């Protein structure tokens, strides 16, 4: 999990989550586990982890829908934007509720920031995953 504020990364707010309940490769299920743990902590300790103003997910419809399901079940209202790889894997596609006109405006203005956050989260996660993998041997 990475955190950006005022367009800048706050590295002291980054958090690593070790997947505990999902076996095998299942991105939406792993995302759900992380979100449930993260938002449970925010509810139990509101001063330690405030809720974000927007959630940017590295993924498409499956990941955005799973995120929205968790938010709905936990009665949390936060806009969600997914960044999916385009058909040629070179063009990003934003996935969000297009009926939300304010969110449409925000995504158009901040697409590059959302991409930077996604890229930073990917860099951070890959580094953590490689670190975990190197400890096993």
pLDDT digits (tens, 9 = 90+) for 4-32: 999 999 999 999 998 999 998 898 999 99
**Could you write out the three-class secondary structure of 100-114?**
CHHHHHHHHHHHHHH
Structure tokens at 110: 């901040």
Q: Mean of the pLDDT values across residues 76-96?
A: 87
Distance (Å, whole) CA 42 – CA 85: 30
pLDDT of residue 46: 82
pLDDT digits (tens, 9 = 90+) for 50-75: 899 999 999 999 999 999 999 999 99
Candidates 11, 64, 75, 83; CA nearest to 42 is: 75
User: What domains does the chain contain, in order, with CATH numbers?
Assistant: 24-136 (3.30.420.340)
pLDDT of residue 94: 94
H-type alpha helices, 45-100:
61-73
C-alpha 13: how far from chain center:
14
């Amino acid at each position: 999990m990475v955190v950006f504020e005022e367009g800048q990364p706050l590295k002291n707010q980054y958090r690593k989550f070790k997947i505990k309940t999902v076996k095998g490769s299942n991105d939406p299920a792993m995302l759900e586990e992380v979100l449930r743990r993260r938002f449970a902590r925010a509810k139990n300790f509101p001063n330690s982890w405030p809720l974000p103003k927007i959630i940017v997910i590295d993924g498409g419809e499956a990941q955005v829908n799973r995120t929205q399901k968790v938010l709905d079940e936990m009665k949390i209202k936060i806009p969600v934007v997914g960044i999916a790889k385009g058909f040629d894997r070179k063009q990003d596609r934003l996935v969000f509720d297009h009926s939300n006109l304010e969110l449409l405006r925000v995504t158009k203005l901040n697409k590059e920031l959302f991409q930077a956050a996604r890229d930073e989260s990917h860099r951070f996660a890959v580094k953590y995953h490689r670190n975990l993998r190197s400890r096993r041997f």
